[in-house]
Chain A
Amino acid sequence: ETGVTQTPRHLVMGMTNKKSLKCEQHLGHNAMYWYKQSAKKPLELMFVYSLEERVENNSVPSRFSPECPNSSHLFLHLHTLQPEDSALYLCASSQAWGGGRTGELFFGEGSRLTVL
């Protein structure tokens, strides 16, 4: 139990569906992250939010839309995805962001997404 909870753990969706991944952290952290993990590739950073403001957006296709309504919750809204988007999506949080203060990242268990 890392203090970061992701739901759902598994999601199967068609290319025309709209779904959302949810992440919640109970650690009082100020920064939250979405990472994508595909087979045989390094973890890819998608988005970073610090104090509910988006600070990083690593050229992620617009079919992925993040939302951070408060410092404890992070969503990833999905629409018109492609089969190559199938992957494990990991949420993480840290106490702070940037300036060498990022510190340890605490990860959730991940949401395994399959796009048919």
Chain B
Amino acid sequence: SQELEQSPQSLIVQEGKNLTINCTSSKTLYGLYWYKQKYGEGLIFLMMLQKGGEEKSHEKITAKLDEKKQQSSLHITASQPSHAGIYLCGAVGGNTPLVFGKGTRLSVIA
């Protein structure tokens, strides 16, 4: 079965700093999703990547997909307290449903 490894597991950054979260898959990626979760709440969809080399941005968050490396990265520029939360990557392969990584817990301090 497909497994997703996220790194780092947790991250504390100062407000205004940039950061990157990585997601590596054990199998070929057919689609990679990024979600954000506030503690104890549901997941909010951020973006989906489907093609190798694809890059998408939403406000200060950019995600890239490296198909050959079976890896995706999520980059936040000039972090703000509103960026704090748990970031999860999810992948789908063929007929299998979304499987998720364990998540990266991000804290942004003033």
- Rounded to whole angstroms, the CA-CA distance of A98 and B92 in the bound complex is 9
Q: Report A81-104 CB contacts with B as 1/0, cut-off 8 Å.
A: 000000010101000011110111
- List chain B residues, Cβ under 8 A from A105: 33, 43, 45, 90, 98
- List chain A residues, Cβ under 8 A from B45: 104-106
Please determine whether A42 and B102 come into contact, CB atoms closer than 8 angstroms: yes
The count of residues in chain A whose C-beta lies closer than 8 Å to any C-beta of chain B is: 28
With A90-B43, A105-B45 in contact, is A45–B97 under 8 Å at CB?
yes
- Shortest B1–chain A CB gap in Å is 10
- Rounded to whole angstroms, the CA-CA distance of A43 and B4 in the bound complex is 11
Which of chain A's residues has its CB closest to B98's CB? A105
Query: B residues 22-67 with Cβ under 8 Å of A?
Result: 30-31, 33, 35, 40-45, 48
Say what secondary structure dominates the interface of chain A: loop
- List chain A residues, Cβ under 8 A from B94: 99-100
Which of chain B's residues has its CB closest to A35's CB? B100
Which of chain A's residues has its CB closest to B93's CB? A100
With A100-B30, A102-B92 in contact, is A107–B97 under 8 Å at CB?
no
Contact of B42 (CB < 8 Å), options: A90, A98, A104: A90
Interface residues of A (CB under 8 A from B): 2, 4, 6, 33, 40-43, 45, 48, 56, 88, 90, 92, 97-100, 102-110, 112
Q: Identify the interface centre among A48, A102, A109: most chain B CB within 10 Å of its CB.
A: A102
Is B19 among interface residues, defined by CB-CB distance under 8 A?
Answer: no
With A90-B42, A104-B48, A109-B41 in contact, is A42–B98 under 8 Å at CB?
no
Please determine whether A43 and B41 come into contact, CB atoms closer than 8 angstroms: no
- List chain A residues, Cβ under 8 A from B44: 2, 107
- List chain B residues, Cβ under 8 A from A104: 33, 45, 48
